[in-house]
Amino acid sequence: MVSKKGGVGANYVYGVHAVRSLIDKRPEAILEATVLKGSRAGNIPELIRRLKSIGIAVKPKQRSELDQMSNGGAHQGIIVRTQGHQEMGIQEFEELVIKRGKSFCCLVLDEIQDPRNLGACLRTADAAGIDAVVVPRRRAAGLTAAALKAAAGAADTVPLVRVSNLAATLRWLRGVGVWIVGADSEMPVTVHEARLSSPITIVVGGEGQGLRRLTRELCDEIVSIPMEGTVGSLNVSVATGVLLFELQRQINMR
């Protein structure tokens, strides 16, 4: 998780799993750590030892202070202050697309505004072997504390690309041969009936409104997820999981 405190460009990351992932993958980003005073149970002693071994100062504080630092989030007795997560720039992203070539797989989140959904989608993207997650710069969730908690470490392994013009990015992807597949619950062709293969970008719309008009127009194909029950739609992170793992199933069968 991340919360924007502690000075310009600094963030708080909290929760045992998120902190362990940060130590494993981006220890250079950690500035200092705060732990629950007197905490000797669970994973906290191990994390304290690891933090100290890389030269990070560890400050014990009362629970009320940790609660305030995390804005009431589930900190699990440990919070670290970091320099902030580095998002991938558009030039790096384009280089990644070219480098991965025919194996490139991307997820685009079109105005996902709940940070927990963003984090959950990052976690799913990591599990499905997705190369990058692209989001618009405006009207989209950031890597907040809630997002990092839900990502469970995936924010350190899957590049997040925040673009100023999503339509232009989709046009560029199409121009270099990436197939763009959108998701819409009203479409007659299901994701299981479609033939999915890389290079590919899966596009998922925001909570409630789905794909925006221009985003929809830039998709080469739009598919639905078959629903057997009475509910009309799935949570966006659940839908993303269905789409990405069906993509991987089809790729692995070829």
Task: Provide φ and ψ at 135, rounded to 5°.
Answer: -135, 150
d(CA 59, CA 61): 6
Question: How is residue 128 written in tokens?
Answer: 């499905």
Residue ranges in the chain modelled with pLDDT below 70 = 1-10, 25, 41, 84-86, 230, 232
Q: How much is the pLDDT for 165?
A: 95
pLDDT per position as a tens digit, 46-92:
999 999 999 999 999 999 999 988 877 788 899 998 876 667 889 99
Domains defined along the chain, listed by start: 11-82 (3.30.1330.30), 90-253 (3.40.1280.10)
d(CA 80, CA 23): 10
pTM above 0.85, yes or no: no
Query: Which H or E run includes 229?
Result: none
Residue type, 137: R
Q: How much is the pLDDT for 85?
A: 65
